[in-house]
Amino acid sequence: MRVALYFSIFMVGVMLAPSVPTCEAQAWKDLAKAVADKLTSLWDTDDLEFLGHECNYSVRPKIRRFQLYFQGRMWCPGWTPIRGEALTRSRSGVVGKTTANFAQKAFESGLITEEEARAWLEG
C-alpha cells in the first residue's frame, strides 16, 4: 500500500511538472515536500510498557469506501502471542483502542486479572 501511494504521488508530480512555470519551481518543491511529510506521518511504529512487559504497536492508514481509517496492532514478543487490533477513523485514538483490545483478549485468555486490566485501562 505504501509503495503504491508513493508511486501515485510521484506520477501526479511527473504529470504536473511540465505545467509549473520555472519561477515557481521552488514553491512546487516545497509543496511536494510538505505533502510527502504529511503522508509519511500517517504511519507509526513504537513501543510501550504494558503491565511491566515491553510491547510494540504499529499504526498504518487504510482507505475504506474512500475514507481514511487507521489500523492499529499491538503485540508483546516474549510474553504472549496475543495481538490487539483496532480500526478507527481517529489517528489519535487508534493506539488506545488497540491496547484496550489487547487487554480484553489477555483477560479472556486468563493472562491478566480483571483488576490488572481495569487498573491499566483507568490509569
Give the helix/strand (H/E) hosting 122: helix 114-122
pTM surpassing 0.85? no
Residues comprising the chain, all counted: 123
69-98 pLDDT, tens per residue? 999 999 999 999 999 999 999 888 999 999
The CA distance from 10 to 15, in Å, is: 9
Question: For the sheet containing 80-88, what is the strand order?
Answer: 44-50, 53-64, 67-76, 80-88
Short-list 65, 106, 55, CA closest to 87: 65
Q: What is the secondary structure of 39-108 as a DSSP string?
A: HHTT-EEEEEEETTEEEEEEEEEEEETTEEEEEEEEEETTTEEEEEEEEES-TTTHHHHHHHHHHHHHHH
Whether residue 8 has pLDDT greater than 60: no
Residue of higher predicted confidence among 120 and 7: 120
